[in-house]
Amino acid sequence: MDINWAIKMAVTTGKVHFGISQCAKAVKTGKAKLIIAAANCPDDGMRKDRLGSIAIYHFPGTTIDLGNACGKPFPVSVLTILDPGTSTILSDGLIAGKA
């Protein structure tokens, strides 16, 4: 499965949050299952000490590319997956081992 398709399915059928501050809140509450960060995401927002043991997938494109993959007309620096919906993004070989 293509990573862009898996992201799109998670956004349309699951529950996700956009942005670093929403990511931090989801991590604090224990709801975050996967974090997807754009290649040009600010490093200070993605420090490992803030994210705990949540898997991080480093999306190969920019914030604009990640926004497009999400089907949004704006840049997305971080996408936090709370519920993947019908997407297989959490069990897919694309994510496993790359986070």
What domains sit in the chain, N to C, each tagged with a CATH number? 3-83 (3.30.1330.30)
Beta strands in 3-98 (DSSP E): 15-18, 34-37, 55-58, 78-83
pTM reported for the whole predicted model: 0.86
pLDDT at 53: 78
Average pLDDT over residues 19-32: 92
The residue type found at 10 is: A
Token pair belonging to 67 = 């926004």
Inform me whether the pLDDT recorded for 9 exceeds 80. yes
